[in-house]
């Protein structure tokens, strides 16, 4: 062996022992880092469309474990418009139940605006920030309305697309904004009248059929009876 070979061997041994040793060390460092800073990856139990939903910031404060809230627009800006959800019309009682979803903004209160034809809208009473559902009462049978949800905070109120309100007449299907159309079917009494009408017509027809039937039986019956009596004689 040449005299330099133990030195080279030593170098090789050192190189190979350092490389495997470095890997567990690096892994250990990573584990330590993860233990030190646990990330709150769980979203809070917050649904912006749920009625009587406690604001997410309050859920976060009350929660024993950390959870994530959706980002909100600045509190120094008026809120973004809420999104109108299901509008369920109860025509018999002239009522509609309106649902909506909160915007991703700080909100202090909501209210509804109701247009009947042209002119100024009726403004509903203010509702607190947990509310996502409200009733509209006194709707007329056969009436057509436009309803909008407004959100407000200290900086102002969410916008209502005034041009959009007029433009809603052309738009069909689901809306993604704060407004929607609302049409109340004609009074069920009208339907009742129609049913009574159809019923009377049916009664008249069956009456006429009965008269016709008896009339025919009389016409056919009389000669028969006559013939029978003749045969009997």
Cβ within 8 Å of residue 58, ≥6 positions away:
none
Q: Which residue stretch of 125-133, 157-165, 173-181, 194-202 sits at the interface with ligand NAG (rule: CB under 6 A)? A: 125-133
Residue found under tokens 């057509």: 144
Q: Taking the complex as a whole, how short is the minimal distance between the CB of residue 135 and ligand NAG, in angstroms?
A: 11
Give CB contacts under 8 A, 24+ apart, made by 165-168.
165/115
- How many residues of this chain bind ligand NAG (CB under 6 A)? 3
Position closest to ligand NAG via CB: 128
Does position 17 interact with ligand NAG (CB under 6 A)? The reply is no
156-157 vs 122-123, strand pairing mode: unpaired
Does position 135 interact with ligand NAG (CB under 6 A)? The reply is no
Residue 117's φ and ψ, nearest 5 degrees, are 70, -145
Does position 77 interact with ligand NAG (CB under 6 A)? The reply is no
Q: CA dist 69 to 11, 107, 127, 146, 180, Å?
A: 56, 15, 23, 33, 28
Q: Taking the complex as a whole, how short is the minimal distance between the CB of residue 127 and ligand NAG, in angstroms?
A: 6
Residue 87's φ and ψ, nearest 5 degrees, are -120, 110
Does position 68 interact with ligand NAG (CB under 6 A)? The reply is no
Q: Which residue stretch of 11-19, 57-65, 73-81, 128-136 sits at the interface with ligand NAG (rule: CB under 6 A)? A: 128-136
* Dihedral Cα 62, 64, 69, 73, nearest 10 deg: 40
Distance, C-alpha 110 to centroid of its chain: 17
In the bound state with ligand NAG, the residue whose beta carbon lies nearer, of 69 and 131, is 131
In the bound state with ligand NAG, the residue whose beta carbon lies nearer, of 61 and 219, is 61
Quote the CA–CA distance of 175 and 43 in Å, as a whole number. Answer: 27
Quote the CA–CA distance of 159 and 231 in Å, as a whole number. Answer: 97
- Among 17, 128, 183, 200, contact with ligand NAG (rule: CB under 6 A): 128
Does position 152 interact with ligand NAG (CB under 6 A)? The reply is no
In the bound state with ligand NAG, the residue whose beta carbon lies nearer, of 73 and 130, is 130
In the bound state with ligand NAG, the residue whose beta carbon lies nearer, of 21 and 52, is 52
Does position 74 interact with ligand NAG (CB under 6 A)? The reply is no
Does position 130 interact with ligand NAG (CB under 6 A)? The reply is yes
- Among 131, 152, 155, 160, contact with ligand NAG (rule: CB under 6 A): 131
Residue 123: strand pairing partners: 113
Q: Taking the complex as a whole, how short is the minimal distance between the CB of residue 86 and ligand NAG, in angstroms?
A: 18
Binding site for ligand NAG (CB under 6 A): 128, 130-131
């Amino acid at each position: 062996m040449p005299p330099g070979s133990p030195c080279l061997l030593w170098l090789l041994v050192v190189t190979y022992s350092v490389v495997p040793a470095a890997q567990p060390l690096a892994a250990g460092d990573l584990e330590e880092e993860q233990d030190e800073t646990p990330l709150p990856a769980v979203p809070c139990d917050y649904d912006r469309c749920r009625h009587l939903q406690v604001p997410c910031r309050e859920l976060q404060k009350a929660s024993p474990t950390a959870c994530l809230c959706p980002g909100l627009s600045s509190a120094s800006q008026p809120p973004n418009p809420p999104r109108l959800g299901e509008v369920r019309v109860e025509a018999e009682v002239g009522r509609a139940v309106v649902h909506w979803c909160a915007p991703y903004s700080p909100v202090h209160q909501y209210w509804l605006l109701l247009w009947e034809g042209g002119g100024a809208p009726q403004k509903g009473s203010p509702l607190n920030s947990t509310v996502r559902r409200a009733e509209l009462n006194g709707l007329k049978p056969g009436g057509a309305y436009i309803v909008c949800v407004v959100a407000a905070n200290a900086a102002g109120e969410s916008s209502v697309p005034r041009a959009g309100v007029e433009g809603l007449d052309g738009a069909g299907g689901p809306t993604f904004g704060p407004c929607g159309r609302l049409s109340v079917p004609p009074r069920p009494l009208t339907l009742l009248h129609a049913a009574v009408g159809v019923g009377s017509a049916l009664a008249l027809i069956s009456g006429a059929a009965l008269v016709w039937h008896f009339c025919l039986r009389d016409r056919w019956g009389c000669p028969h009876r006559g013939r029978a009596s003749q045969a009997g004689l």
